[in-house]
A and B are shown apart, each in its own frame.
Chain A
Amino acid sequence: MSPGLLEGLLMLPALLLLALVFLWPLGAMAWLSGQASSVLTGLTALPNGGANWLRLLGDGRFWQDAGQTLRFALVSVVLELLLGLGLALLLQRPGRGRAWLRTLTLLPWALPTTVMALGWRWIYNDPFGPLNALLGLLGIGPYGFLSNPATSWLFTVLADVWKTTPFVALLLLAGLQSIPLELRESLELEGAGRWQRLRHLTLPLLLPYLSLALLFRLTQALGVFDLVQVLTGGGPAGSTESLALYAYLNAMRFLDFGYSATVVMGTFVLLLLAVSLALLLWRRSQPHRRPA
């Protein structure tokens, strides 16, 4: 048996599994996105040409949700990267209680999203939540954190940042620890202060890790569902609705499975674009790495 054939055979089970859980559903969705399949058709699939896709292109709610999802993803990911970097730098520093701090930091990441979203819904509660109680102490408020269509998305972002910053911090901490101590010491001996070391040494060497965190977080944030579903249900006035939530509503509330599949496929295309952009960034940062 030739080595190539053996290799192929050994990979076959994994490839089959991947096809089963990834390609098959994707193919099914792609097929369904070209069908009329709703309560009106008695839930049977009837080919309707490109009608679903035409509807998608003209669907204001889809495009509004696309914009909102992108806004949510960009703002939360940027904040998470910045805060995560700060946190990682803090956790990297030697000192008493570092182990405790690390554990404490990871706590939000370890909580199930649904649980923590319920917690935040209570924190934001108008007028009885703790946040409004604090505002009350200052003599302002109460404020409808989740009931003002202009600002409620910001507070979904905040909750997401609280939950996923530890993940980013952990990833970047691993990156920081891969930087040899002598490099920092050498630059310190050259007279570089903390900021100069960060700018000239730490950040460039951390770039691959930053890009990786960006990639992970961007894909996750663009597919946000559970947090928004529990926190606001997409409201008020659809101002926090994400694409995933819209697809879910189409299928589960409007029972329009054909169009729901089209929304999913549309999201998939947008996601593909965003991820290829992030991947491109990541590839660019690769030559900076030292070969092992």
Chain B
Amino acid sequence: MSGLRIQNLSRQLGNRLLLDGLELTVAPGECLALLGPSGCGKTTTLRLVAGLDQPSSGRILLGGEDITGQPAGQRQVAMVFQSYALYPHLSVADNLALGLRVRGVPAQEREQRIATVLELLQLGNLRSRRPAQLSGGQRQRVALARALLRQPRVMLLDEPMSNLDAQLREELRPELRRLLCGAEPPVLYVTHDQQEALGLADRIAVLKDGRLQQLGLPRQLYEDPANLFVASFLGRPAINLLPAEGGRLLGLRPEHLRPTAAEGLPARLQRREWWGHQQLLLLDTPRGELRLLLPSGSEPGDSFQLDWPRACELWFEARSGERLRGFGSENTRAL
């Protein structure tokens, strides 16, 4: 089979397990985001695939070929580093040319390919600038151009937008999708930013402490999380967790709560954050503090009753964080 396949991949450093038995496949043309907090093993995974680090056990297959033992330079992978890793002593054009020169691409073809990719990324007028003379967004585009020139069998991106400001990140997201996703090489995209993962990736793998927590479509992860960690890592503002009987937790997304005229959970408004299109209400309830997300126009008053659709309830076992499926509506009143 083609694409990227990661089999039972582990990386141990001293007595710390950075990555623990990771199983993943990324199909050709697919963009898979590795999402998780720092130290979760996402960058380790990327470096193992690139060949910059060696696994303690497990295999990496690319297009059906085992590349686990191959030196990095032979794997034909491209990587965009978090710091972009542009060569500071070379101009933009030379930054792009160096890799081609190293691989012995003839000068004429080199020039042609560079011109094409410069045009694709609208970098033509910057070709003789040095990295120090570029803005953060421009540097990121140059790094991307360099990766595209590699004509890789797999594209690796290590938090490529974490050094950019929020507005630029939002602007670049569709561009990144246009350039990377859907093309032949599978894309492995590391990020700790859920917005980026949700908005960019076809599928998301959530990692924590070197272990895969859940792998699925963005919507699946959000609506049907496998465990407490995935449920609370995804979603801003974070999910409400209400302690319930029997060592269970009831998870309720802030946007699923709504004020009701009927009897429900009594709530008192404590604080309000106005976000323009929405407002976040912090509520005092007998079950603890809850977050409620409402359209910015609504005025529920200072104290009211809360209700929610039973189908939106997410139940967890408090101690293990395991999801309790098929446990639900009839027990809600046990709160």
Interface residues, chain A, with chain B CB atoms under 8 Å away = 180, 182-183, 185-193, 196, 200-201, 204-205, 288-291
Interface residue B199 (Cβ < 8 Å from any Cβ of A): no
- A residues in contact with B88, CB < 8 Å: 183, 205, 288-290
Interface residue B79 (Cβ < 8 Å from any Cβ of A): yes
Interface residue B215 (Cβ < 8 Å from any Cβ of A): no
A-B contact count (CB 8 A): 66
- B residues in contact with A201, CB < 8 Å: 87
Q: How far is the CA of A14 from the CA of B52 in the complex (A)?
A: 51
Contact yes or no, A182 B98, CB < 8 A: no
Q: How far is the CB of B117 from chain A (nearest CB, A)?
A: 14
Contact yes or no, A187 B99, CB < 8 A: yes
Contact yes or no, A196 B102, CB < 8 A: yes
- A residues in contact with B51, CB < 8 Å: 189
Contact yes or no, B50 A190, CB < 8 A: no
- B residues in contact with A189, CB < 8 Å: 50-52, 72-73, 75, 77-79, 150
A288 contacts which of B74, B89, B99, B102 (Cβ < 8 Å)? B89
Contact yes or no, B132 A290, CB < 8 A: yes
Interface residue B168 (Cβ < 8 Å from any Cβ of A): no
Q: Which residues of chain B from 83 to 115 have a CB within 8 Å of any chain A CB?
A: 83, 85, 87-89, 98-99, 101-103
Q: Which residues of chain B from 192 to 241 have a CB within 8 Å of any chain A CB?
A: none
Q: How far is the CA of A182 from the CA of B79 in the complex (A)?
A: 10
Contact yes or no, A290 B81, CB < 8 A: no
Contact yes or no, A190 B150, CB < 8 A: yes
Contact yes or no, A182 B81, CB < 8 A: yes
Contact yes or no, A190 B102, CB < 8 A: yes
Contact yes or no, B89 A204, CB < 8 A: yes
- A residues in contact with B83, CB < 8 Å: 180, 182
Considering the complex, give the chain A residue whose CB is closest to the CB of B133: A291
Contact yes or no, B89 A205, CB < 8 A: yes
- B residues in contact with A183, CB < 8 Å: 85, 87-88
Q: How far is the CA of A188 from the CA of B99 in the complex (A)?
A: 9
Q: How far is the CA of A180 from the CA of B131 in the complex (A)?
A: 14
In the complex, how many residues of chain B place their beta carbon closer than 8 angstroms to a beta carbon of chain A? Answer: 24
Contact yes or no, A191 B103, CB < 8 A: yes
Q: How far is the CB of B105 from chain A (nearest CB, A)?
A: 11
Q: How far is the CB of B175 from chain A (nearest CB, A)?
A: 22
B98 contacts which of A185, A187, A193, A289 (Cβ < 8 Å)? A187
Q: How far is the CA of A196 from the CA of B102 in the complex (A)?
A: 7
Q: How far is the CA of A188 from the CA of B50 in the complex (A)?
A: 10
Q: How far is the CA of A29 from the CA of B181 in the complex (A)?
A: 75
Contact yes or no, B74 A180, CB < 8 A: no
| Closest A-B pairs by Cβ, 4 of them | A190-B99, A182-B85, A290-B88, A186-B85
Contact yes or no, A190 B85, CB < 8 A: no
Q: How far is the CA of A257 from the CA of B128 in the complex (A)?
A: 59
Q: How far is the CB of B281 from chain A (nearest CB, A)?
A: 44
Q: Which residues of chain B from 116 to 156 have a CB within 8 Å of any chain A CB?
A: 131-132, 150
A192 contacts which of B52, B73, B131 (Cβ < 8 Å)? B73
Can you list 17 A-B pairs with a CB-CB distance of less than 8 A? Answer: A185-B72, A186-B85, A187-B102, A188-B52, A189-B50, A189-B73, A189-B78, A189-B79, A190-B73, A190-B102, A190-B103, A191-B99, A193-B73, A200-B98, A200-B102, A205-B89, A288-B88
- A residues in contact with B132, CB < 8 Å: 290-291
Considering the complex, give the chain A residue whose CB is closest to the CB of B74: A191
Known: A205-B88, A288-B89. A188 touches B73 (CB 8 A): yes
- A residues in contact with B150, CB < 8 Å: 189-190
Q: How far is the CB of A231 from chain B (nearest CB, A)?
A: 41
Q: How far is the CA of A162 from the CA of B307 in the complex (A)?
A: 83
- B residues in contact with A187, CB < 8 Å: 87, 98-99, 102
Contact yes or no, B89 A186, CB < 8 A: no
Q: Which residues of chain B from 47 to 90 have a CB within 8 Å of any chain A CB?
A: 50-52, 72-75, 77-79, 81, 83, 85, 87-89
- B residues in contact with A188, CB < 8 Å: 52, 72-73
Q: How far is the CB of B274 from chain A (nearest CB, A)?
A: 41
Q: How far is the CB of B67 from chain A (nearest CB, A)?
A: 13
- A residues in contact with B75, CB < 8 Å: 189
Q: How far is the CA of A204 from the CA of B98 in the complex (A)?
A: 13
Contact yes or no, A290 B131, CB < 8 A: yes
Q: How far is the CA of A196 from the CA of B103 in the complex (A)?
A: 10
- A residues in contact with B131, CB < 8 Å: 290
- A residues in contact with B79, CB < 8 Å: 185-186, 189
Considering the complex, give the chain A residue whose CB is closest to the CB of B78: A189
- B residues in contact with A193, CB < 8 Å: 73
Q: How far is the CB of A43 from chain B (nearest CB, A)?
A: 58
Q: How far is the CA of A201 from the CA of B90 in the complex (A)?
A: 9
Contact yes or no, A192 B81, CB < 8 A: no
Binary contact track B280-297/A, C-beta < 8 Å → 1, others 0: 000000000000000000
- A residues in contact with B87, CB < 8 Å: 183, 186-187, 200-201
Q: How far is the CA of A37 from the CA of B77 in the complex (A)?
A: 76
Considering the complex, give the chain A residue whose CB is closest to the CB of B149: A190
Q: How far is the CA of A54 from the CA of B171 in the complex (A)?
A: 76
Q: How far is the CA of A190 from the CA of B75 in the complex (A)?
A: 9
B102 contacts which of A182, A191, A289 (Cβ < 8 Å)? A191
Q: How far is the CA of A196 from the CA of B77 in the complex (A)?
A: 18
- A residues in contact with B102, CB < 8 Å: 187, 190-192, 196, 200
Considering the complex, give the chain A residue whose CB is closest to the CB of B150: A190
Q: How far is the CA of A158 from the CA of B51 in the complex (A)?
A: 43
Not counting A189-B73, A190-B98, A190-B150, a sample of 17 additional A-B residue pairs whose C-beta atoms are within 8 angstroms of each other reads A180-B83, A183-B85, A183-B88, A185-B85, A186-B79, A187-B102, A188-B52, A188-B73, A189-B51, A190-B73, A192-B102, A200-B87, A200-B102, A201-B87, A205-B88, A288-B89, A289-B88
